[in-house]
């Protein structure tokens, strides 16, 4: 079955939950946001949302970082 994962064609053997898909991809669900067919999925719903033929999944990683700027006062 073909789905679209982060804009690329991706094959899955059968319908599965979002949490199962992320586990197969070795993605830590605590560090990502997931969109299923243009709807953001809450972390507690990953087990109940099923990925099927033609679905569009976007997985966005949270990345920490940035630069520290000195304050204007010193």
- Reported as a pLDDT band with limits 50, 70 and 90, residue 42 is very high
Q: Averaged over 28-42, what is the pLDDT?
A: 96
Per-residue model confidence (pLDDT) at position 51: 98
Q: Is residue 39 part of a domain?
A: yes
Q: What is the CATH number of the domain that holds 29?
A: 3.10.20.30
Q: Is residue 74 part of a domain?
A: no
pTM of the model: 0.81
Per-residue model confidence (pLDDT) at position 64: 72
Q: Is residue 11 part of a domain?
A: yes
Long-range contacts of 25-32 (CB under 8 A, 24+ apart): 25/59, 27/59, 31/61, 31/62, 32/59, 32/60, 32/61, 32/62
* 57-71 tens-digit pLDDT: 999 987 777 676 666
Structural domain containing residue 27: 2-61
Q: Is residue 12 part of a domain?
A: yes
Q: Averaged over 6-19, what is the pLDDT?
A: 97
* Domains: count for the chain: 1
Q: Is residue 10 part of a domain?
A: yes
* 16-27 tens-digit pLDDT: 999 999 999 999
Q: Is residue 72 part of a domain?
A: no
Q: Is residue 73 part of a domain?
A: no
């Amino acid at each position: 079955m073909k789905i679209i994962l982060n804009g690329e064609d991706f094959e899955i053997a059968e319908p599965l939950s979002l949490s199962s898909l992320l586990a197969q991809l070795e993605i830590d669900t605590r560090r990502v946001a997931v969109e299923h067919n243009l709807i953001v999925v809450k972390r507690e719903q990953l087990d109940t949302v099923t990925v099927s033929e033609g679905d569009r999944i976007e997985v966005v990683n949270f990345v920490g970082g940035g630069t520290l700027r000195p304050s204007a006062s010193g």
